[in-house]
Amino acid sequence: MPTVRTSTPQFGSQSALREANSQRIVDAIRRHGALTQVEIAATTGLSQATVSTIVKQLLSQGLVDTRTTVRTGRRAQLVTLAQRTGLGVGIHVGQRALRVLIGDSGHDELSERLLPLPADHRADTTLDRAALLVVDLVEALGAELSEVVAAGVALPGAVDPGTGTIGGRGVLEGWEDVDVGEVLGRRLGIPIVVEKDATAAVIGETRFGAGRGCADVAFIRASYLVGAGLVVDGQVHRGRRGIAGEIGHVEVDPSGAICPCGSRGCLNTVVGAEALTDLLRMSRSGITLRALIGLAVEGDPGCRQVIADAGGAIGSVVAGLALAFDPQRIVVGGELAETGELLLGPLRDAVGRRVPLTGDHGVEVVRGELGPRAEVRGLVALAFDQAGSAATTSGTEESA
């Protein structure tokens, strides 16, 4: 990792200022990946003239590289970090799919694979498949596992930060007491960090997507179940037992059905995949969530109604969350967000009914920019963070 050397400059001198600005630019690229000079200026708050001067200097020092891209249809120069070190892996274990992404320290995405999973997939076979997939992808890149600095794994439910295991009952049958970090670490021989899916996604969206530049963000993951990932004052907030943001278990119907968690009338019993597809039992018996979403996008009135009502129900709970921690931006992702404003419109309206959340500086409700890849993008970033902090703790730059 390139670091801008400081030669103990005078505090407040021109050179100290230039070096501090250089470090800000390097940090911004390390955090967000390749950026154009305009994006660097927006992210760091420096003027474009200052960014241009410093980037020239960093190029001559060999600390950054540039390459040309045709992002958004126009040619632009991207600034990246020089001296790539190692690979990072993101493994997202979902309710119905397994997604693996391999990235490098410049946050470039090198290789990705998506595998469908059966509804009741078991921990041992799924983790086996994940390990094999990682080995395949790394080999296909012409690299070796020893070049992987760490892997981040996301699971669909609260993960206890102390143990790295799923904290709640009934989220993913048979996974409750599985030490995913230990199992995968043994298989792959690399450090593993385990995270809740919504937390992985909020890391992805705040680093690379719709939450960029915001210090306080809630990511609402509207999928087979609903959960939230939180960034508070620039830091990921997990809570003591990892259940911060578990809005799927907020009570919305005091006389409703019993949730797998044991409580009555949780939000998940109203907007979870089973509840949504069950609403269509009269017209479309046996429909899957994927089919429901597809039909809603195509304009089917019944399916649109289901999604809109879900947006309203989720929005009421999100309003409570927003009042509790006052985020600047609420980013909505997960499969249901693929319906766009069908979900977001009623969700935003429900948030807007809480007057303190509206006005000139009201909370923004936007769709995620990374789609189904928010989790793995966040996990690769988390893997490099983990490797970086491990290297700092052990006082060595070497990694196994």
Contact residues: Zn ion, CB under 5 A: 249, 259, 261, 263, 266
Alpha-carbon distance 1 to 33, whole Å?
13
Read off the DSSP letter of residue 10: P
> Residue 268 or residue 399: which is nearer to Zn ion going by CB?
268
Question: Min. distance of Cβ 155 from Zn ion in angstroms?
Answer: 17
Question: Min. distance of Cβ 276 from Zn ion in angstroms?
Answer: 16
Phi, psi at 287, each rounded to 5°: -65, 145
Question: Min. distance of Cβ 351 from Zn ion in angstroms?
Answer: 22
Question: Min. distance of Cβ 271 from Zn ion in angstroms?
Answer: 12
Contacts of 192 (CB under 8 A, 6+ apart): 150, 151, 152, 153, 164, 180, 181, 184, 185
123-140 and 180-188 helices cross at what angle (nearest 10)? 40
Residue type, 15: S
Is the distance from CB of 50 to CB of 19 less than 8 angstroms? Answer: no
Is the distance from CB of 129 to CB of 181 less than 8 angstroms? Answer: no
Give the gyration radius of the chain's Cα atoms: 22
Tokens at residue 131, please?
């390990």
> Residue 217 or residue 220: which is nearer to Zn ion going by CB?
220
Question: Min. distance of Cβ 334 from Zn ion in angstroms?
Answer: 17
Altogether, the residues listed in the chain come to a count of: 400
Residue type, 100: V
| Dmax (CA) of the chain | 75
Contacts of 398 (CB under 8 A, 6+ apart): 391
Q: CB atoms < 10 A from the CB of 8, how many?
A: 6
Which residue number places its CB atom closest to Zn ion?
Answer: 259
Closest CA to 243 of 327, 330, 160: 160
Query: Percentage helix, strand, coil, to 5, in the chain?
Result: 45, 20, 35
Question: Min. distance of Cβ 226 from Zn ion in angstroms?
Answer: 10
Question: Min. distance of Cβ 170 from Zn ion in angstroms?
Answer: 8
Question: Min. distance of Cβ 303 from Zn ion in angstroms?
Answer: 25
> Residue 58 or residue 317: which is nearer to Zn ion going by CB?
317
Question: Min. distance of Cβ 317 from Zn ion in angstroms?
Answer: 12
> Residue 202 or residue 259: which is nearer to Zn ion going by CB?
259
Alpha-carbon distance 303 to 300, whole Å?
5
